[in-house]
């Protein structure tokens, strides 16, 4: 049976296949892959390294012979496990790094089984070019509204509550696995690679309706170590905002609850305190460490909000020329306060829909 060659990595074309198989090694797959792809490697990480070393240092023929043996055994294992329940009408798409020997070798075997098999021309590099073109070179049609506010105002939680009320949202911090502040790392959950972040981001963007406003949390251009790609950042720079406001003491209380895991790790907390960007000074750092050692985390959060976060927020606000749709004043940052704020956001976006520009404008 002839092997089909797919020339594009457009998500709609990929979705037409029963399974998208990433034939690269597990390490390559972990760095980034097409959304929904299943990793059925034809070479393990160790086998790939061994074959590559032999290819460069010894003999191309020897490398190909050893590689072919590994590929045959690995594809056989996939046929006996991951693919064993697929029927005669199964239609897989296979890609490797460049659409070369690994994907074509697997495709040859699968096509001989009788399955309508396709390979992606150019492999992962074709897919990556598609992502880059969309997020770095193209214009996004989506109309954004920023959810803004100082530290501890519950923006991330409120984003989820707004989504429950039918508001279209884009959770950048969830995609980046980081809460977007100095304390934003999530223990036990490392950030994805920049490429993986962009793959997840583009998949999330493609799931949005560009005719409806999209609520997104106001962020800096980086979330932890992950950069927001230019096409989205351009939209965010021009987007109007809804601003949350709450008393500092309520925000401090909320922050302690939201970041509880870091208060339970003294070493991690001390490391973060030492890295506060505006150089707190030895005396102030000693005071903060004393509060942490005493378990006075609300007092510590209040001090950080007063002396670091709020001043930084006010400085950035003075430079921000983006339009304001509304300011939502909250008496506290309790579940009831956040629920009431979410109830107000949904109609605000409906009212703003007609006024949001269809094309990006400069802030």
Give the chain's largest Cα–Cα span: 75
Residues 10, 16, 17: CA angle, nearest 5 degrees: 105
Residue 96 annotated among the catalytic residues of the structure: yes
How many other CB atoms are there within 10 angstroms of residue 238's CB atom?
20
What is the distance between the alpha carbons of residues 127 and 199, in angstroms, rounded to a whole number? 10
Residue tagged active-site, from 37, 75, 96, 176? 96
* The pair of three-digit structure tokens given for residue 329, joined into one six-digit string: 């004043």
**Contact between 244 and 161 (Cβ < 8 Å):** no
Query: Phi and psi dihedrals of 243, rounded to 5?
Result: -105, 135
**Contact between 191 and 178 (Cβ < 8 Å):** yes
Residues 195, 18, 201: CA angle, nearest 5 degrees: 25
CA-to-CA separations, 259 to 159, 226, 306, in angstroms, rounded = 17, 20, 17
> 242 - beta bridge partners?
147, 326
- Residue pointed to by tokens 């707190």: 280
Q: How would you class 221 by CB atoms within 10 Å of its CB: exposed for 0-12, middle for 13-18, buried for 19 or more?
A: exposed
What amino acid positions are annotated as catalytic residues?
Answer: 96
């Amino acid at each position: 049976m002839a092997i089909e060659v797919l020339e594009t990595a457009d998500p709609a074309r990929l979705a037409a296949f029963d399974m998208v198989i990433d034939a690269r090694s597990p390490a390559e797959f972990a760095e980034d892959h097409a959304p929904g792809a299943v990793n059925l490697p034809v070479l393990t990480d160790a086998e790939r390294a061994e074959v590559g070393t032999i290819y460069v240092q010894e003999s191309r023929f020897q490398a190909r012979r050893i590689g072919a043996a590994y590929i045959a055994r690995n594809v056989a294992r996939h046929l006996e496990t991951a693919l064993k329940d697929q029927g005669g009408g199964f239609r897989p798409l296979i890609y490797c790094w460049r659409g070369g020997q690994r994907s074509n070798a697997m495709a040859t075997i699968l096509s001989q089984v009788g399955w309508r098999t396709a390979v992606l021309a150019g492999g992962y590099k074709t897919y990556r070019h598609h992502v880059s073109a969309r997020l770095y070179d193209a214009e996004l049609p989506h109309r954004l509204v920023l959810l803004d506010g100082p530290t501890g105002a519950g923006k991330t939680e409120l984003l989820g509550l707004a989504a429950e009320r039918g508001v279209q949202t884009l959770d950048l911090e969830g995609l980046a696995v980081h809460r977007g502040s100095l304390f934003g790392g999530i223990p036990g959950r490392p950030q994805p690679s920049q490429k993986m972040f962009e793959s997840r981001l583009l998949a999330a963007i493609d799931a949005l309706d560009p005719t409806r406003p999209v609520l997104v949390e106001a962020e800096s251009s980086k979330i932890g170590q992950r950069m927001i790609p230019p096409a989205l950042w351009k939209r965010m720079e021009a987007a109007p905002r809804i601003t949350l406001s709450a008393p500092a003491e309520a925000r401090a209380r909320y922050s302690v609850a939201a970041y509880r895991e870091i208060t339970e790790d003294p070493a991690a907390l001390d490391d973060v305190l030492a890295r506060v960007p505006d150089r707190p000074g030895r005396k102030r750092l000693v005071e903060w460490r004393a509060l942490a050692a005493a378990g006075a985390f609300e007092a510590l959060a209040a001090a950080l909000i007063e002396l670091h976060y709020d001043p930084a927020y006010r400085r950035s606000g003075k430079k921000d020329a983006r339009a304001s749709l509304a300011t939502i004043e909250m008496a506290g940052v309790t579940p009831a306060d956040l629920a009431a704020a979410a109830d107000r956001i949904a109609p605000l976006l409906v009212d703003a829909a007609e006024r949001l520009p269809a094309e990006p404008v400069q802030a």
